[in-house]
């Protein structure tokens, strides 16, 4: 609750904590190789925002190992013919029949054909919207098309401004880059974050005249340990990211762009020995060296914050049902449990809890509440109409026949988002950002160029559909940020900070989930509906 800066639902967080141990048992049973103590018990380590070691992990690849465990179990079900996979398909629209979600329109990405699927209920698990910022740690295919299409059909979008910017990513190195790489938060267990104390040393680093190792211990500013002695380097992500930005804004950045800080392992290598550090983080160090050509065993890593996770998402009730009956949202694409900031390891905890321990029960409540289910035919006019709508959108985009590639426009959108709707937001900056997004959207709609045709495989067309929705998303994020006149978690409004530069919440006026309701077309401002937060057991605190 504190990690989410008191903007999460108490009941949801309670439930998540309740079922979280089951997740570990479930995943161990699936074969996930969690780290173990010498005696065979599962090992724990600490993560940002936690003062105790309570995170189960698999070296520096927990997420990937959980994914492999889930995939292998899924493939057992596929083999047993209980699940049929439609790979290389993308959902383009949700079909509503008599007020209930009863199917989807999907595009076969290989043939380019649209197909209709009917169902008793629809569950979207389509991930977050971090790629609105173009550069993020997310996979390049991540997009928000399904969520935004559900929003257009009436599902509320909650807390879009809560975007997590992760402190430990490899810094941006040029404008030809299309992806950023995360260095796991676990590194902050043993790595110490610092910048030079003296501005002249920072300038020399920026010009490449000296290296980090040349700066003596007494001239290093371990700013997180200095500002937050209780948590040290393991402060929550939003705090660590803002602190890095603050130092770099003041000119203390350590690379040629001035947008990087050091993450240094020299002390832990001396204390624990290289072998132990290698055992804990070897794969991450190798990855860093492959990308930057520098060995973190010999020279401190350089890191900078990057967009990583989105706490906002499709609004769901306690049963994970959206405001459209029969439409459910799970995982990162819903807003459910993290409030204004997500703690390390909680994304997979929530996604796995939703999928294994919540939805299987709550969806039954929905299904049991129905009379005998009539089989819905995909020949119904609702399906035809939805398909026609998707087809018309594809034709519209293909027929723009302008001059600019999808990526060039997306990159520009990302730049606006980062500069105006990023780590430090202001009323003026947000208003400017909103105007710039609207202007760029016009450019997208009049000057976009998609090569090839809509038949067959056309990844540029698919990216254009995603970009159309990133525009809607960008405006949602910016408008939500503008309406929330306070700072909390991943949403930092520079006007609302303490003298020490910490986020200043306004619990009196903003103790709610902000749900945005679509008003019929993309150019019309959505309406804000407030879901008040109710806490029974937890006392909201200010420290």
Ligand X SMILES: Cc1cc2nc3c(=O)[nH]c(=O)nc-3n(C[C@H](O)[C@H](O)[C@H](O)COP(=O)(O)OP(=O)(O)OC[C@H]3O[C@@H](n4cnc5c(N)ncnc54)[C@H](O)[C@@H]3O)c2cc1C
Burial class (CB in 10 A: 0-12, 13-18, 19+), 38: exposed
Contact string (CB under 6 A) for ligand X, positions 163-182, x = contact: -------------------x
**Residue whose CB is less far from ligand X, 143 or 255:** 143
Choices 1-9, 255-263, 339-347, 384-392 (CB under 6 A): range interacting with ligand X: 339-347
In order of 35, 132, 526, the CA distances from 439 in angstroms are 50, 16, 18
Q: Which of 8, 122, 146, 397 forms a contact with ligand X (CB under 6 A)? A: 146
**Residue whose CB is less far from ligand X, 182 or 430:** 182
Cα 69 to Cα 449: distance, rounded to the nearest angstrom? 41
Coil, helix or strand at residue 179: coil
Cα 63 to Cα 58: distance, rounded to the nearest angstrom? 8
Coil, helix or strand at residue 516: strand
**Residue whose CB is less far from ligand X, 223 or 418:** 418
Asked if 327 and 150 count as a contact pair (C-beta separation under 8 A), the reply is yes
Residue 341 interacts with ligand X (CB under 6 A): yes or no: no
Residue 345 interacts with ligand X (CB under 6 A): yes or no: yes
Residue 91 interacts with ligand X (CB under 6 A): yes or no: yes
Residue 322 interacts with ligand X (CB under 6 A): yes or no: no
Q: Which of 138, 164, 168, 206 forms a contact with ligand X (CB under 6 A)? A: 138
Q: Which of 31, 141, 273, 501 forms a contact with ligand X (CB under 6 A)? A: 141
Marked catalytic residue, from 237, 247, 425, 484: 237
DSSP annotation of 327 reads E
Asked if 99 and 57 count as a contact pair (C-beta separation under 8 A), the reply is no
**Residue whose CB is less far from ligand X, 280 or 505:** 280
Residue 125 interacts with ligand X (CB under 6 A): yes or no: yes
Residue 127 interacts with ligand X (CB under 6 A): yes or no: yes
Burial class (CB in 10 A: 0-12, 13-18, 19+), 19: middle
Pairing of strands 313-314, 220-221: unpaired
Choices 119-127, 248-256, 378-386, 511-519 (CB under 6 A): range interacting with ligand X: 119-127
Query: Shortest distance, CB of residue 56 to ligand X, whole angstroms?
Result: 10
Burial class (CB in 10 A: 0-12, 13-18, 19+), 125: middle
Q: Which of 163, 277, 316, 347 forms a contact with ligand X (CB under 6 A)? A: 347
Residue 424 interacts with ligand X (CB under 6 A): yes or no: no
Pairing of strands 122-124, 327-329: parallel
Residue 143 interacts with ligand X (CB under 6 A): yes or no: yes
Nearest to 484 by CA among 177, 253, 263, 163: 163
As beta bridge partners, residue 118 has 103
**Residue whose CB is less far from ligand X, 210 or 392:** 392
Pairing of strands 261-264, 301-310: antiparallel
Residue 206 interacts with ligand X (CB under 6 A): yes or no: no
**Residue whose CB is less far from ligand X, 108 or 447:** 108
**Residue whose CB is less far from ligand X, 78 or 213:** 78
- Residue spans of beta strands (DSSP E) within 148-206: 157-158, 163-169, 192-196
**Residue whose CB is less far from ligand X, 169 or 482:** 169
Choices 75-83, 343-351, 364-372, 450-458 (CB under 6 A): range interacting with ligand X: 343-351
Number of chain positions touching ligand X (CB under 6 A): 24
DSSP annotation of 355 reads I
Q: Which of 11, 63, 198, 443 forms a contact with ligand X (CB under 6 A)? A: 63
Cα 287 to Cα 280: distance, rounded to the nearest angstrom? 14
DSSP annotation of 193 reads E
Residue 1 is inside which H or E element, if any? Answer: none
Give buried/exposed letters for 445-484 (b at 16+ CB in 10 A, else e).
eeebebeeebeeebebbbbbbbbbbbbbbbbbbbbbbbeb
Q: Which of 142, 307, 329, 434 forms a contact with ligand X (CB under 6 A)? A: 142
Choices 23-31, 133-141, 294-302, 379-387 (CB under 6 A): range interacting with ligand X: 133-141
Query: Shortest distance, CB of residue 125 to ligand X, whole angstroms?
Result: 5
Q: Which residues contact 335 (CB under 8 A, 6 or more apart)?
A: 158, 159, 162, 311, 312, 313, 314, 315, 316, 513
Q: Which of 103, 212, 313, 351 forms a contact with ligand X (CB under 6 A)? A: 351
Query: Shortest distance, CB of residue 518 to ligand X, whole angstroms?
Result: 17
Query: Shortest distance, CB of residue 217 to ligand X, whole angstroms?
Result: 32
Query: Shortest distance, CB of residue 18 to ligand X, whole angstroms?
Result: 18
Pairing of strands 220-221, 192-196: antiparallel
- Residue spans of beta strands (DSSP E) within 209-280: 220-221, 261-264
- Whether residue 36 lies in the annotated active site: no
Q: Which of 20, 26, 118, 126 forms a contact with ligand X (CB under 6 A)? A: 126
Asked if 194 and 220 count as a contact pair (C-beta separation under 8 A), the reply is yes
Cα 418 to Cα 406: distance, rounded to the nearest angstrom? 18
Residue 145 interacts with ligand X (CB under 6 A): yes or no: yes
Choices 141-149, 201-209, 429-437, 498-506 (CB under 6 A): range interacting with ligand X: 141-149
Residue 19 interacts with ligand X (CB under 6 A): yes or no: no
Residue 296 interacts with ligand X (CB under 6 A): yes or no: no
Positive or negative, the CA dihedral 409, 410, 412, 417 is positive
Query: Shortest distance, CB of residue 62 to ligand X, whole angstroms?
Result: 5
Choices 21-29, 345-353, 444-452, 527-535 (CB under 6 A): range interacting with ligand X: 345-353
Choices 93-101, 143-151, 390-398, 495-503 (CB under 6 A): range interacting with ligand X: 143-151
Where along the sequence are the contacts to ligand X (CB under 6 A)?
62-63, 90-91, 125-127, 137-138, 141-143, 145-146, 182, 309, 331-333, 345-348, 351
Active site residues: 237
């Amino acid at each position: 609750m504190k990690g989410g800066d008191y903007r999460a639902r108490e009941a949801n967080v309670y439930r998540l904590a309740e079922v979280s141990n089951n997740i570990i048992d479930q995943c161990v049973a699936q074969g996930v190789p969690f780290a173990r103590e010498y005696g065979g018990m599962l090992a724990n380590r600490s993560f940002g925002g936690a003062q105790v070691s309570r995170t189960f992990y698999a070296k520096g690849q927990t997420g990937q190992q959980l994914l492999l465990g889930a995939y292998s179990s899924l493939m057992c079900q596929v083999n047993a013919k209980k699940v049929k996979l439609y790979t290389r398909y993308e959902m383009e629209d949700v079909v509503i029949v008599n007020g209930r979600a009863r199917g989807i329109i999907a595009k076969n990405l290989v043939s380019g054909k649209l197909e209709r699927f009917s169902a008793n209920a629809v569950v979207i698990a389509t991930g977050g919207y971090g790629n609105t910022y173009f550069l993020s740690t997310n996979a390049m295919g991540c997009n928000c098309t399904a969520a935004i299409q559900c929003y257009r059909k009436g599902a509320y979008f909650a807390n879009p401004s809560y975007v997590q910017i992760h402190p430990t990513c490899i810094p941006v190195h040029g404008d030809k880059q299309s992806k950023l790489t995360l260095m796991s938060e676990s590194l902050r267990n043993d790595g110490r974050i610092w910048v030079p104390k003296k501005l002249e040393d920072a300038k020399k680093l920026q010009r490449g005249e000296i290296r980090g190792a040349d700066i003596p211990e007494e001239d290093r500013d371990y700013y997180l340990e200095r500002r937050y002695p209780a948590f040290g380097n393991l402060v929550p992500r939003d705090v660590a990211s803002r602190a890095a930005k603050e130092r770099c804004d003041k000119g203390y950045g350590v690379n040629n762009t001035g947008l990087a800080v050091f993450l240094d392992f020299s002390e832990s290598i001396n204390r624990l020995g290289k072998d132990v550090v290698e055992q804990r983080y070897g794969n991450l160090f190798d990855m860093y060296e492959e990308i930057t050509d520098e060995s973190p065993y010999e020279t401190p890593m350089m890191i900078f914050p990057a967009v990583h996770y989105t706490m906002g998402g499709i609004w769901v009730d306690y049963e994970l049902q959206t405001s459209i009956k029969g439409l459910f949202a799970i995982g990162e694409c819903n807003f459910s449990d993290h409030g204004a900031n997500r703690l390390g390891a909680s994304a997979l905890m929530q996604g796995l809890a939703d999928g294994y321990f919540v939805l299987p029960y709550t969806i039954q409540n929905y299904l049991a509440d129905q009379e005998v289910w009539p089989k819905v035919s995909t020949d119904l006019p609702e399906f035809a109409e939805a398909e026609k709508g998707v087809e018309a959108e594809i034709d519209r985009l293909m027929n723009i026949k302008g001059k600019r590639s999808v990526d060039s426009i997306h990159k520009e959108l990302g730049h606006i988002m980062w500069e105006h709707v990023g780590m430090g937001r202001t009323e003026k900056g947000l208003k400017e950002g909103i105007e710039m997004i609207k202007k760029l959207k016009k450019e997208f709609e009049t000057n976009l160029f998609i090569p090839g045709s809509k038949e067959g495989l056309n990844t540029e067309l698919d990216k254009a559909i995603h970009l159309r929705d990133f525009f809607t998303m960008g405006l949602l994020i910016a408008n939500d940020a503008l309406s929330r006149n306070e700072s909390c978690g991943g949403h930092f409004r520079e006007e609302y900070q303490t003298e020490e530069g910490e986020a200043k919440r306004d619990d009196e006026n903003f103790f709610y989930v902000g749900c945005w309701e679509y008003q019929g077309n993309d150019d019309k401002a959505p309406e804000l509906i407030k879901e008040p937060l109710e806490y029974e057991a937890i006392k909201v605190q200010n420290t």
